[in-house]
Amino acid sequence: MKYNTIAVISLILLLTGTLHAAEQRGALILYKEPPIEFAGPKRSDCDIMYDIHTGKDVSDMRDFRNFFCEGRYTLTLDGEKGTTVSLFGKFKYKKEAGFMVVVKNDDRKIWLINFEDIPPGKWVDVEAKRDSGAYSVYYKSKALFSLNISSIKWGQWWQGDTPK
């Protein structure tokens, strides 16, 4: 009887914890998808989705599962108007390999798919669409940036109007 009670309680705790964890997705979700030039048999072990919670800076993404799989990043960003996140092409928020700053302009989730389509070196305002909210983005481009995101920083880290 004692073992049955322990087993039932353990099962309830396990299910409750699993359901709770599934509800707590991060505000920033990075997807790593195979780039077109590497098309071929899709490797299910490299289908990657990273959840990063608001305010949790990540100075080194090498600890993330399958970080070294080849692929191009896309993202979704949820949160309230004014939420700001920066993605860096180098570890420890270094800017030499490019960076991107995204600021939400409304409360809707945004989808950013083609980083290289963003004009570099200036702030760009993107209007809300049916599937995505409005946002502003600053992109300091470098070759292969969308393949090499390595650190994430929340909030405004630069002085003045334009990141440098």
Q: Say if 91 falls within a structural domain.
A: yes
pLDDT tens per residue across span 32-44: 876 555 455 555 5
Give the count of domains, the chain.
Answer: 1
Q: Say if 164 falls within a structural domain.
A: no
Render 75-90 in DSSP notation, one character per residue.
EEE-SSTT-EEEEESS
Q: Say if 159 falls within a structural domain.
A: no
What does the CA dihedral 87, 130, 104, 125 come to, rounded to 10 degrees? Answer: 80
Q: Say if 90 falls within a structural domain.
A: yes
Rounded to whole angstroms, the Cα distance separating 22 from 45 reads 20
Q: Say if 27 falls within a structural domain.
A: yes
pLDDT tens per residue across span 43-55: 556 667 788 999 9
Q: Say if 162 falls within a structural domain.
A: no
In which domain, by residue range, is 61 found?
2-154
Q: How confident is the model at residue 101 (pLDDT cuts 50, 70, 90)?
A: very high
Please tell me the pTM assigned to this model.
Answer: 0.79
Q: Say if 161 falls within a structural domain.
A: no
Q: Say if 163 falls within a structural domain.
A: no
